Structure 1
Amino acid sequence: MGTPDPSRVYAATAWPLRRTAALARSCHPGPVVAVSALAGALGVGVGLDGVRCALLVAAVLSGQLSIGWCNDAFDARRDASAGRRGKPVADGSVSRPAVWTAAFAAALLCVPLSLACGLLAGTVHLAAVAAAWAYNLRLKATALSWLPYVIGFATLPAVAALTLPGSPGPAWWVVTAGALLGLAAHLGDVLPDIEDDLRNGVNGLPHRLGVTGTALLLPVPLVAASAVLALGPAGPPGWWGAVTLAVAAPTALAGLVLGRYWRKAALAAAVVVAAADVALLLVRGAAPL
């Protein structure tokens, strides 16, 4: 009886591992991890106990996984024709049916996990996930492309507050700031790909505004979110609120000016302001009523 060929053993083992890794990469792991971590931080901020906080994170994680896989599976042909690198479905690293299966499995898992956070919290979260799927399947190519982002970011702190016993509603300024950050996230996410998207028939709000119009609009919701987060709660804004207010507008303006020399300057400035806004949101907490 001969000794197995090590190269064949390695190939048989490595192939499923490569497909699994490709499937993981196709879920948009950066946003999935970032949004799930933000949900956990918001849960801690409103005072959720360990079990409720874990349920909140699990619900958000499953929803974000379903959204990311849906996006990559649906856009596979468009990504391939645009020659975008780092897209596992488009480059054949993982099959489209496998990614669709993962997307639907995560979406089904999201339902009981969301409802375990409470009927109202779960319903709000599932509505946000449904809006994100609608974006992937249709709304991204319409003038309403911004709406699912606004819904998703506005509801995240709301779901954290609603997961508390008694389901207290979030403060108005939390939801408003989340909605503004959602609009900014949409503009910033699409900005680098506007020209490629237009060639492939995508015509959402940023595409209608154009690269220049989107870059000019991008700082507006970010600075507005900074103002709402700093000035919305009762009492003084605190040192972090004052710092955020002081740097938001100048940073955004610098991004616009430097955009003449570096195409991604406006997006980079937006990321800095958004990071300060998110930090301020976490400092303020989701502020249940």
Structure 2
Amino acid sequence: MSDPLLQVHDLITAFDTDGGLVRAVDHVSFEVPRGKTVGIVGESGCGKSVTAMSIIRLLPQPMGKILHGEVNFKGRNLLKATDAEMRKVRGGEIGVIFQEPMTALNPVHRIGKQLSECFILHKKMSKKDAWHASIEMLKLVRIPAPEHRISDYPHQLSGGMRQRIVIAMALACRPDLVIADEPTTALDVTVQAQILDLMKQLQAEMGMSVVLITHDLGVIAETCDEVVVMYGGRVVEKAPVRELFERPLHAYTRGLLASIPTLATPRKSILPTIPGMVAGLLDLVPGCRFCQRMGREGAVLRERPAFEEVSPGHWAETCPNCFEEPK
């Protein structure tokens, strides 16, 4: 097997707050194989987006700090790269599809100007060539009448079309890796399916790897090869997607899966929910954070559970209260 395209090893990211330095990402490790899609799933506040922003070093400054770890991309540690080197990597080698397309696009500039910047900055094209390349990218992401749409402002486009523009910007320089942070948020189900199908087609055509951040396990099942489940800033389970859905080992993963309706779910029935909420960053315990949510006490809250490979490729936190041995 070839080396993974991206290796995140023992990453710790923290923020300066009035209450002191708090960890939002706590010893996170995972890999992204070449040409594959890795999904990161979990509730809001579990550290998914902060992990992604740490990879490309776009944390809010001066509060955000990467305290420890390595982010090896194509064999080099991005955490040791200079700011100038990172500007070449972002957009050129790593594309980013941000969570909300309306805030990712500048409302006072036309679509063509924003998309052309990718080619001018990273490919050193002339303005004329960049404009034509931008039209070709709009065709690639299935925007109708791209010669006309390229002169529109973001507010003149629907949510689905704005999302396609953001995807076009992320893929403009044909990056090796795309980080998609909830690319279908706020889109209706039909448009969501179109966007996911488009991303799969473009991935197949371009051979890129994808890190897909989402709340939706249905999206994970449909699009991903491997899954990383995060809770409380930590990875509590990771496995190939089919393995995870067939044999979830951690209680948090089982809770997430139980909350999804299936064809066998009776109509108008109440779906199971996970009680409680994710603790705030200042309140997180050093031990098992899901036990904290469940109101358990004792040593489980003081000592962090081991993160072990239970079967080939299937890892989980082995908290005695949350971990279930495979049968």
More helix by share: 1
TM-score, with length taken from structure 1? 0.29
More strand by share: 2
Pick 1 or 2: higher relative contact order, CA cutoff 8 A, min separation 6. Answer: 2
